[in-house]
Amino acid sequence: MMLENEAIAKKWFEAFNSHNLDDLLYLYDETATHFSPKLKIRKPETNGLIKGKSELRIWWNDAFDRLPTLYYKVTSLTSNNNRVFMEYVRQVENEEDMLVAEVLEIEAGKIIFSRVYHG
């Protein structure tokens, strides 16, 4: 299970870094919830929390459109039976690198909840 969850995390980074929205969303449950400080800033009405694949699609599609050079450099992956803790560096051309940690909660091979923390 731990190796399976780590494989999901690696697929997550591959999809994210190639800005492949369909591959990224495939990893999520239909009712998945996502929390991000960036979401709270850009869409204050959400209070940082969105739910469901359609909201995830809108959020990441906007990010990929606005930030064509957005890239996550993995620094650490730690997994157990139901979650993966990911540490990475958020890189965008002409912006300062940002340290990020993210937790993916996984059930039956799909991400059900993700939480982002900024360093």
Percentage of the chain beyond pLDDT 90 is 96
pLDDT tens, residue by residue, 48-92: 999 999 999 999 999 999 999 999 999 999 999 999 999 999 999
Percentage of the chain beyond pLDDT 70 is 100
Q: Is the pLDDT of residue 2 over 80?
A: no
Distance CA 108, CA 75 (A): 26
The reported pLDDT for the residue numbered 13 is 98
Q: What is the CATH number of the domain that holds 14?
A: 3.10.450.50
Q: Is the pLDDT of residue 31 over 90?
A: yes
The boundaries of the domain holding residue 103 are 2-118
Count structural domains, the chain.
Answer: 1
